[in-house]
């Protein structure tokens, strides 16, 4: 059976756990999305913007030096970092932007963590002439100052969120509150495969362009399907976009990498699928980091884009049926991978994507050399350079000393 | 018959409208909550709505968000709130419903939640992020217990949704006056009265209006069409203002009485 079902459920997960005021907006969105999917003009438009504006198809790059260095499987990188705005988020915002125009709504809002989705939404708002407001946790505004400026430059209003943990979760709360208030004129462009139905389905569909292309590309270069697909999981949109088109290719294994923050045992992490329990947050039932009383815990990750205590419901479903395996790597391991990919391949990855590389660096030797792995390089690291430089600077200076000796 | 149905039947006989007062349980401590419930009972409140604090209250404005955070900082848990109602039951028979987000209830266990509520004298529950579409487990657990599952309608609800919510609601229907989050508003939507009348054409269940209400004249206006009026943020704000004063309970009580007497005055006026 194709999932989600009519009510938006993936097994026991998903659904619409949302204030009554939004129910009609969600129904409208679902109707409009279904109509758009059948509309050849919509598809032509979306394809046009994906190629001529965003720069698709993205390259599937054979990372030869990384492969040699890690002495493990043959590594391909799906270069979503090369897209316009610097991450896979544009795939989704172009789709939802066109839908917003189609619904006749003049205003678009979004939450953002790392700022990648915020920038992608602000960009599309500029492109389609929509009024745009981005909600962003105060802590993330500090961590991602460059992206905040980009959004403002693109003509969007960036509203700091000061409640709760002041990160992505709270930005999403605030965006929901705005949407409840302005639902008649505003579209809420959720940036991940999370939120109430139809968002997990719709965002997944918009992101499957990643996996569809990767499949075509790997068949062309290798003449066969890969053995593993590897991607980081925060809310889970880049990973779902890569995984989903391979769902029926049972021999292709999926590995989702979550943020272990300072270590799973410290409690300071964002490993929702590994350490969370079933719960309801932001409109859907999924795994959730929560305490014994059902209060949502604050997630921790060096990467603002993974710093979220929930996860998309379809990932919860994949976990429950064993279709995907979910693992995690720590902040330090991600930082090492950030450096590794920069040095070895000349590619500076986003800290989010560095988590996927880190898992591979740790486990490469467990794989056969004949294995083929596709890693989704979901975003580029420019936005993180400022913050990472503060941490890595001392390490790099140490290297200089070693080299001169 | 549960206390809510009994209350509405009694009010109907007296041609009265229900005044429903909201406060976050555990805000300034559960002892304060208890004292306020008893005070409100004396001040003409008909039904008490106890907010269950949650870390991510997406339907609430700054006032109730802050009260929820205060209650959580004191470690207020759902189980403590249910037990407190049990203690209150030795002192008052005023109908008490809980209003809380779904995750703490889900975590508590839905069947256990309903049976503990029934055992301790909680009369019903309002879950703002649980539309009837997702509430089968809750309504099944509540069936035949007399425990009221109160669902919400809003200005955007279509005829189909009004029918669904009317069918699934027990106790009363909660009509959200405006598209937005909780919090006092100077102006309520013009179409409020006609919307309430529309819902009442679909349903014989009491319709109570909440969100944004803070002034006696608003209470009077809504009472023209609705069966009850719910005031939340304005009461919480009053609690915030007086929290450190000795006569705290009395001051909040005075404020609440201003609102409840708006209903009494209206009734007297209409009798003249």
In angstroms, the CA B94 to CA B88 distance is 9
A chain contacts of residue B155, beta-carbon cutoff 8 Å? 21
**B154, burial (CB in 10 Å: exposed 0-12, middle 13-18, buried 19+):** buried
Which of A17, A20, A21 is the closest to B102 by Cβ? Answer: A17
Which of A 5-64 lie inside 8 A of B, CB atoms?
7, 15-25
The interface predicted TM-score (ipTM) is: 0.95
pLDDT at A79 over 60: yes
For residue B230, give how far its alpha carbon lies from the nearest alpha carbon of chain A (Å).
Answer: 17
Instruction: For residue range A266-316, list pLDDT tens digits in order.
Output: 999 999 999 999 999 999 999 999 999 999 999 999 998 899 999 999 999
Residue with tokens 């913007």: A49
At residue B272, the pLDDT reads 41
pLDDT band of B270, cuts 50, 70, 90: very low
In angstroms, the CA A17 to CA B132 distance is 10
At residue A175, the pLDDT reads 97
pLDDT at B125 over 70: yes
B chain contacts of residue A282, beta-carbon cutoff 8 Å? 56, 58
Q: Which residues of B216-236 are buried (b: 16+ CB within 10 A; e: fewer)?
A: bebbbbbbebbbbbbbbbbbb
Q: Is A378 a catalytic residue?
A: yes
SS3 of A220-277: HHHCCCCCEEEEECCCCHHHHHHHHHHCCCCCCEEEEEEEEECCHHHCCCCCHHHHCE
Q: Can you name the residues that pair with A229 across neighbouring β-strands?
A: A254, A374
At residue A314, the pLDDT reads 98
Average pLDDT estimate for B66-73: 96
- Interface contact flag, A182 B61, Cβ < 8 Å: no
At residue A405, the pLDDT reads 53
Instruction: For residue range A378-396, list pLDDT tens digits in order.
Output: 999 998 998 899 888 877 7
Number of domains composing chain B: 1
At residue A1, the pLDDT reads 60
User: What is the span of the domain harbouring residue B157?
Assistant: 3-270
A chain contacts of residue B179, beta-carbon cutoff 8 Å? 21, 180-184
At residue A295, the pLDDT reads 97
Nearest CA in chain B to A286: B103
Instruction: For residue range A126-160, list pLDDT tens digits in order.
Output: 999 999 999 999 988 987 888 999 999 999 999 99
To probe the interface with A, which of B52, B53, B54, B58 has the most A CB atoms within 10 Å?
B58
pLDDT at A370 over 90: yes
CATH code of the domain containing B169 = 3.20.20.70
B chain contacts of residue A294, beta-carbon cutoff 8 Å? 54, 78, 103-108
- Interface contact flag, A20 B157, Cβ < 8 Å: yes
Within its chain, how far is the Cα of B84 from the centroid? Answer: 17
At residue A392, the pLDDT reads 80
Spatial contact of A327 and A163, defined as CB atoms under 8 Å apart = no
pLDDT band of B271, cuts 50, 70, 90: very low
At residue A319, the pLDDT reads 98
Nearest CA in chain A to B174: A20
Which of A15, A25, A176 is the closest to B134 by Cβ? Answer: A15
Spatial contact of B40 and B47, defined as CB atoms under 8 Å apart = no
Please, what is the end-to-end C-alpha distance for chain A in angstroms? 64
Spatial contact of B81 and B25, defined as CB atoms under 8 Å apart = yes
Residue with tokens 């930082």: A335
Spatial contact of A131 and A224, defined as CB atoms under 8 Å apart = no
pLDDT band of A199, cuts 50, 70, 90: very high
Instruction: For residue range A220-249, list pLDDT tens digits in order.
Output: 999 999 999 999 999 999 999 999 999 999
Query: Considering only CA atoms, which of B5, B1, B18, B3 is closest in space to residue B223?
Result: B18
Determine contact: A366 vs chain B, CB below 8 A: no
In angstroms, the CA A273 to CA A228 distance is 19
Spatial neighbors of B199 by CB under 8 A, at least 6 apart, are B153, B162, B166, B173, B175, B207
In angstroms, the CA A293 to CA B105 distance is 9
Instruction: For residue range A26-54, list pLDDT tens digits in order.
Output: 999 999 999 999 999 999 999 999 999 99
The reply to whether the predicted model has a pTM over 0.80 is yes
B chain contacts of residue A170, beta-carbon cutoff 8 Å? 56
Instruction: For residue range A313-341, list pLDDT tens digits in order.
Output: 999 999 999 999 999 999 999 999 999 99
Please, what is the end-to-end C-alpha distance for chain B in angstroms? 34
Instruction: For residue range B183-218, list pLDDT tens digits in order.
Output: 989 999 999 999 999 999 999 999 999 999 999 999
At residue A165, the pLDDT reads 83
According to DSSP, residue A295 is labeled P
């Amino acid at each position: 059976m194709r999932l989600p079902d009519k009510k938006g459920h993936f097994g026991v997960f998903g659904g619409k756990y949302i204030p009554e005021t939004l129910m009609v907006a969600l129904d409208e969105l679902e109707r409009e999305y279904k109509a758009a999917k059948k509309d050849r003009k919509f598809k032509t438009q979306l394809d046009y913007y994906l190629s001529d504006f965003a720069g698709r198809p993205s390259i599937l790059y054979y990372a030869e030096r990384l492969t040699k260095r890690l002495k493990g499987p043959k590594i391909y990188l799906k270069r979503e970092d090369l897209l316009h705005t610097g991450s896979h988020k544009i795939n989704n915002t172009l789709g939802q932007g066109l839908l917003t125009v189609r619904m006749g709504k003049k205003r678009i809002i979004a939450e953002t963590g790392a700022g990648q989705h915020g920038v992608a939404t602000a960009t599309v708002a500029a492109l389609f002439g929509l009024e745009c407001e981005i909600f962003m946790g105060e802590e993330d505004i500090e961590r991602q100052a460059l992206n905040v400026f980009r959004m403002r430059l693109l003509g969007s209003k960036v509203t700091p969120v000061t409640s709760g943990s002041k990160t992505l979760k709270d930005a999403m709360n605030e965006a929901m509150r705005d949407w409840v208030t302005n639902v008649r004129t505003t579209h809420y462009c959720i940036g991940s495969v999370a939120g109430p139905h139809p968002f997990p389905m719709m965002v997944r569909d918009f992101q499957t362009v990643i996996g569809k292309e990767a499949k075509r590309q790997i068949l062309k270069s290798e003449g066969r399907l890969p053995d593993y697909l590897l991607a980081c999981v925060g809310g889970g949109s880049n990973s779902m976009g890569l995984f989903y088109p391979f769902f029926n290719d049972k021999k292709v294994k999926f590995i989702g990498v979550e943020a272990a923050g300072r270590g799973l045992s410290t409690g300071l992490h964002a490993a929702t699928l590994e350490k969370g329990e079933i719960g309801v947050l932001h409109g859907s039932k999924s795994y959730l980091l929560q305490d014994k009383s059902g209060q949502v815990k604050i997630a921790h990750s060096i990467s603002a884009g993974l710093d979220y205590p929930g996860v998309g419901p379809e990932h919860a479903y994949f976990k429950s049926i064993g279709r995907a395996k979910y693992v995690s790597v720590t902040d330090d391991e991600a930082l090492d991978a950030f450096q590794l990919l920069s040095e070895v391949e000349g590619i500076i990855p986003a800290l989010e994507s560095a988590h996927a590389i880190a898992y591979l660096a740790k486990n490469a030797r467990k794989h056969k050399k004949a294995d083929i792995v596709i890693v989704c390089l979901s975003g580029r690291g420019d936005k993180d350079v400022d913050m990472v430089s503060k941490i890595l600077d001392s390490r790099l200076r140490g290297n200089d000393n070693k080299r001169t000796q | 018959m549960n206390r809510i149905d009994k209350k509405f039947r009694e009010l109907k006989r007296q041609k009265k409208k229900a005044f429903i007062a909201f406060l976050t349980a555990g805000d300034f401590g559960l002892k304060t909550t208890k004292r306020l419930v008893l005070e409100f009972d004396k001040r003409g409140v008909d039904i008490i709505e106890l907010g269950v604090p949650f870390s991510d209250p997406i339907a609430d404005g700054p006032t109730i968000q802050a009260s929820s955070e205060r209650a959580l900082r004191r470690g207020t848990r759902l189980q403590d709130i249910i037990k407190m109602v049990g203690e209150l039951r030795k002192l008052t028979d005023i109908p008490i419903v809980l209003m809380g987000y779904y995750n703490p209830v889900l975590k508590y266990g839905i069947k256990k939640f309903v049976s503990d509520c029934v055992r301790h004298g909680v009369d019903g529950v309002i879950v703002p992020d649980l539309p009837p579409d997702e509430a089968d487990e809750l309504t099944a657990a509540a069936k035949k217990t007399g425990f009221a599952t109160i669902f919400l309608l809003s200005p955007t609800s279509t005829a189909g949704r009004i029918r669904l919510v009317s069918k699934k609601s027990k106790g009363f229907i909660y009509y959200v006056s405006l598209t937005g989050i909780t919090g006092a508003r100077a102006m309520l939507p013009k179409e409020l009265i006609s919307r309430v009348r529309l819902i009442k054409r679909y349903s014989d269940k009491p319709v109570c209006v909440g969100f944004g209400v803070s002034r006696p004249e608003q209470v009077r206006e809504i009472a023209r069409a609705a069966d009850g009026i719910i005031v939340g943020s304005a009461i919480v704000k009053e609690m915030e203002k007086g929290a450190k004063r000795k006569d705290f309970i009395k001051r909040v009580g005075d404020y609440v009485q201003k609102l409840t007497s708006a209903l009494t005055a209206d009734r007297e006026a209409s009798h003249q």
